[in-house]
A and B are shown apart, each in its own frame.
Chain A
């Protein structure tokens, strides 16, 4: 597996999360994004590259400038990170409920 392309690996970094947050409200050029951070510009570029590779960001050429856009579709996958765990418990609890309801009806029938 290419970790670079792992979306979860991508958001494990606080600078990259800050970049994503910045881009949720507007599209920006690499220069404009970099001006929001104290980090050296090549470092910001590297972060942008990683975020683009894992499709959290999309690049769009506008004239001479390249704008970065946030890709909500990919982010949705991350939003679901707790969902499998929740579903596991939900199905266990559904089972508990049905087992106990069955028991209740049985004892009522006695």
Chain B
């Protein structure tokens, strides 16, 4: 089966694009991002705060065996129902830093929809931290060509 989630992370850049098509109507996809009970369920985190509005903010926390293991927060810059969310996101105690996220929600048919998340990091280096791959920013066209070749040779 074809991969439903695509990651586009070009060499030498500090951003990346995540796209995914869902077997869900647009309204339901948007709800998964805008209503705390659904965020908690699919992200597996506790929503401490969520203000879905321009200049609003949010906070997530995840605990494991009573210990806080994940803490993230951000502010909402733009919020248009069933259309887009522009927000910052930062995981605490991580070297990734603040990231700017443009979430775009789009209906494909009455029952399918598409989500695009454009993430911009502070630098190329911060993006590499996110990818957990210190070499990610060292990749170039040569590598892409090699990648194609090695896929063909698989």
Could you tell me which A residues sit within 8 Å of B by CB distance?
8-9, 11-14, 17-18, 20-21, 24, 72, 75-76, 78-79, 81-82, 84-86, 89-90, 92-93, 95-97, 99-101, 103-104
Closest Cβ–Cβ distance, residue A75 to chain B (whole Å): 4
Whether A100 and B31, one on each chain, are in contact in the complex, defined by CB atoms closer than 8 angstroms, is yes
A81-B133, A86-B5, A97-B23 given; A21·B42 CB < 8 A: no
> Are B7 and A75 within 8 A (Cβ)?
no
Instruction: Please tell me if the beta carbons of B32 and A100 are within 8 angstroms of each other in the complex.
Output: yes
Measured in the bound complex, the distance between the Cα atoms of B115 and A9 in whole Å is 34
A5 to chain B, nearest CB (A): 14
Among residues 20 to 51 in chain B, which have CB atoms less than 8 Å away from a CB atom of chain A?
Answer: 20, 22-25, 28-29, 31-32, 38, 41-44
| Closest chain A residue to B117, Cβ basis | A89
Closest to B153 in A: A72
Nearest-neighbour CB distance to chain A for B7, whole angstroms, equals 5
B95 within 8 A of A: no
With most chain A CB atoms within 10 A of its CB, the pick from B31, B149, B154 is B149
- A90, B153: Cα distance in complex, Å: 25
A14 to B139, CA, bound (A): 9
- A99–B138 contact, CB under 8 A? no
Contacts of B147 in A (CB 8 A): 75, 78-79
Size of B's binding interface in residues, CB under 8 A: 42
A99 touches B142 (CB 8 A): no
The answer to whether B150 touches A75, judged by C-beta atoms less than 8 angstroms apart, is yes
| Any A CB within 8 A of the CB of B84 | no
A82 and B38 in contact, given A72-B149, A89-B20, A96-B22 (Cβ under 8 angstroms): no
Contact (Cβ within 8 A) A89 B18: yes
Closest to A10 in B: B135
- In Å, the complex CA distance between A104 and B32 comes to 12
Q: Tell me the B121-154 residues at the A interface (CB within 8 Å).
A: 130-136, 138-140, 142-143, 145-147, 149-151, 153-154
Q: Which residues of B contact A92 (CB under 8 A)?
A: 42-43
Please tell me if B67 contacts chain A, counting CB pairs below 8 Å. no
The chain A residue with its CB closest to the CB of B33 is: A96
A8 contact from B23, B42, B134, B150, Cβ within 8 A: B134
Q: How far is the CA of A100 from the CA of B24 in the complex (A)?
A: 8
- Contact at A12–B138, with CB atoms within 8 Å? yes
Are the CB atoms of B132 and A93 closer together than 8 Å?
no
Q: Are B5 and A21 in contact (CB under 8 A)?
A: no
Q: B9 to A12, Cβ gap below 8 A?
A: no
